[in-house]
Amino acid sequence: MRQLEARHPELAIADLRSGTKATASPDQELDVAAVVKASQALSGEMLLPRLIEQLMTITVQNAGADRGLLILPHGSDYRIEAEARADGEKIILHYGPTAGSAAPEAIVRYVMRTQESVILDDAARRNLFSEDPYFELRLQRSILCVPLVRQGTLVGLLYLENALASHVFTPGRARLLELLGSQAAISLENTRLYGDLQEREAKVRRLVDSNIVGICIFDLDRRLLEANDAFLEIVGHSREDVSSGQLSFAGLTPPEWVAADEQLLAELASTGSWQASEKDFFRKDGSRVPVLVGGATFGELQQQGVAFVVDLSDRKRAEVELAHANRVTTMGQMSASIAP
């Protein structure tokens, strides 16, 4: 990844080639060890608040910054997700925008657009970003902004600054932070996906628990893994029947519906959805109940499915009564038409 360097007023641009051989000092080796340890710590975090806390603490402590920001893309704009400040040996972390949690917009947008790191060795000297209003409000010396990129997609930015000393963020230190940033980008994306999964599971759970319709979850062998009270009432089974692992679609389905079920389940496997259709289920007492069933697969490998079941008994009774009423009416009309 290229880095934009500002060691001179004319703002030199240089490529930092990771293949260049150099003798590592003990401090650099220690930095590498710290980055490896930090990457391992980040890779194990799945909850976003904890991940941010780890990332910002590690970054500020190891980079020599007195202030750091985690900045995330927000549509075509961006937002400050967290701010970390060094206070002696402690790191004080604030989530979201707080009073004074600003950054030079020109630098942030440059890094977002180019996905290149920016190093300002001495922001007090003239540089490409000197006209940014931020520098009229804050006197800064060292600044580093590193993109967090995963598979070519910008996931976020790490913005670091030191208000007291110049030349704090060396190219070598920047490269180490880029390595850390690569793991941070992966971890941020993983926590987002994990959060989305939890949100979807919570929605499914709320729907299941609402008992508006019968809902059951099944595996690829059509064995029922879980069912809500509405479904259990429809088929007349208990929760123990489900937890025993003996309840399945095959056992609930009358023989004349097996062929249609096979076709629908093949559709489910190929398309991920099961179009709603009518059929019968066996109840536990051997009686039958007419139902409307539809469903979909879910999970990372589509290894499970969820079925939505509606009891059609009332509708079928109404249809029978309506048919009977129509027959009676028709017979009455026929009788009237042949009466003398």
Is the per-residue pLDDT at 13 higher than 60?
A: no
265-316: pLDDT as tens digits: 888 888 888 888 899 999 999 999 999 998 888 765 557 888 899 999 988 8
H or E segment at 26?
helix 26-43
Is domain 211-328 annotated with CATH 3.30.450.20? yes
| Tens of pLDDT, residues 25-37 | 434 444 666 666 6
- Does the domain spanning 3-17+24-197 belong to CATH 3.30.450.40? yes
pLDDT at 114: 93
Residues with Cβ within 8 Å of 114's Cβ and at least 6 positions away in sequence, in order, are 4
**In sequence order, what are the residues at sequence separation of 6 or more whose Cβ sits closer than 8 angstroms to the Cβ of residue 295?**
268, 273, 274, 305, 306, 307, 308
Least reliable range by pLDDT among 122-131, 189-198, 232-241: 189-198
Residue 145 near residue 162 (C-beta atoms within 8 A): no
Please list, in sequence order, all residues whose beta carbon lies within 8 angstroms of the beta carbon of residue 287, skipping any fewer than 6 positions away: 236
At 2 the pLDDT is 46
Q: State the residue for tokens 């970054």.
A: 59
Rounded to whole angstroms, how far apart are CA atoms 107 and 128?
A: 9
Locate CATH 3.30.450.40 in the chain.
Answer: 3-17+24-197
Which SS3 state, helix, strand or coil, does residue 102 take? coil
What CA–CA distance (Å, rounded) separates 281 from 290?
A: 6
pLDDT reading at 24 higher than 50: no
C-alpha span between 67 and 83 (Å, rounded) = 7
Task: Indicate whether 78 pLDDT > 50.
Answer: yes
- In the chain, CATH 3.30.450.20 covers 211-328
